[in-house]
Amino acid sequence: MQTTAVILKGPRDLGLDMLDITAPAAGDVVVRINHSGISTGTEKLFWSGDMPPFPGMGYPLVPGYEATGEVVEVSSGSQYNVGDTVFVPGANCYEGAFGLFGGAARLLVSSEDRVTKIDSGLGAEGALLALAATARHAMAGQGKAVPDLIVGHGVLGRLLARLTVAAGAPAPTVWEIDPARRSGAVGYAVIDPETDERHDYTSIYDASGSAAVLPQLIGRIAKGGEIVLAGFYTDPISFAFPPAFMKEARFRIAAEWNKHDLTATRALVESGSLSLGGLITHTSKAADATRAYETAFSDPACLKMMLNWKDAS
């Protein structure tokens, strides 16, 4: 089998090409992708060449870990049926290219235990489940507290705020330095950090990915407060010890979501408790992938770029 896929041959060298894909084995499903999202975090780092050494890293690679599509082939005894709509967190099924993420293709093969059936009515928003599950993973679990301050009002910051509100917790404050990104809040306030006089936050979640903001956050927590690093950071994390010492600051790193997070998040979305609306600001045909990736990574107005694969072969 062959498929059209996005190929990142090296830093800033991205386009569409045809790739051979491995034949499905027992326990696999073949999925025809309808939409795939572009990550402005980890994928941007691969695109720019700034990604530190990472397991499975290499060029050429097929990006994309936010994808949704339709099952077109199943193996005997599968829990899925042809025609099911599924979320796919990427695939590693390509000949001659790394499938480090692997969701940005028209056709892919995946182990069925990696895909998740979703409501077809979600459309392109179904591809946002990965980010929603990432936000949920940062917040949920023993010993974790919901945020009372979130730094950054991008897609991850918005999802953290929406999950906090959905949990019935007090509405968080959100910092955003870009005035254009302060809109779109429902049930919580988004403010310029320069106008915030609070210095007693107990749980700060940084969704900006900027290590430079950390010293400022230490000055904003209450004694014994926690700072959660929910973004992805390329620069070394450093801060002055005395202020952190005086605050008895705690730091936690939030890693990627797991299957339980995805199941729980899907239930929240399907019940109407968590909305994924208003997060996709740009959509592009897959044929225009080169321009779409550049827009996703350079246009501050672009929260989430979604590729539409329905016209691709």
Q: Which residues contact 219 (CB under 8 A, 6 or more apart)?
A: 199, 243
pLDDT grade, residue 277 (50/70/90)? very high
Q: What is the pLDDT of residue 98?
A: 86
pLDDT grade, residue 53 (50/70/90)? confident
pLDDT grade, residue 186 (50/70/90)? very high
Residue range 190-241, pLDDT digits in tens: 999 999 999 999 999 999 989 999 999 999 999 999 999 998 888 889 999 9
- The overall average pLDDT reported for the chain is 94
Q: What is the pLDDT of residue 229?
A: 96
As a whole number, mean pLDDT of residues 77-98 equals: 94
CA 290 to chain centre: 20
Instruction: Kindly give the residue spans of alpha helices, DSSP state H, lying in the chain.
Output: 42-48, 129-139, 155-166, 214-218, 241-247, 259-271, 289-298
Distance CA 145, CA 10 (A): 40
Q: What is the pLDDT of residue 136?
A: 96
For 43-103, strand residue ranges (E) read 67-74, 85-88
Q: Specify the pairing of strand 221-229 against strand 107-111.
A: unpaired
Reading the block at residue 137, the tokens are 């993973």
Asked whether residue 100 carries a pLDDT value surpassing 80, the answer given is: no
As a whole number, mean pLDDT of residues 164-169 equals: 96
- Give yes or no for a contact between 70 and 123, defined as CB atoms under 8 angstroms apart: no
Q: Count H helices, E strands: the chain?
A: 7, 15
CA 258 to chain centre: 13
Q: Is 138 left (phi over 0), alpha (psi -120 to 50) or beta?
A: alpha
What domains can be seen in the chain, in order of their start residue? 2-117+281-308 (3.90.180.10), 135-253 (3.40.50.720)
Distance CA 116, CA 129 (A): 10
Q: What is the pLDDT of residue 85?
A: 98
For residue 164, give the nearest of 180, 186, 197, 194 by alpha carbon: 186
Residue range 283-309, pLDDT digits in tens: 999 999 999 999 999 999 999 999 999
Q: What is the pLDDT of residue 24?
A: 95
pLDDT grade, residue 58 (50/70/90)? confident
For residue 33, give the nearest of 12, 55, 6 by alpha carbon: 6
Residue range 238-261, pLDDT digits in tens: 999 999 999 999 999 998 899 999
Distance CA 91, CA 162 (A): 29
Residue range 101-116, pLDDT digits in tens: 899 999 999 999 999 9
H-helix or E-strand containing 14?
Answer: strand 13-20
Q: What is the pLDDT of residue 141?
A: 83
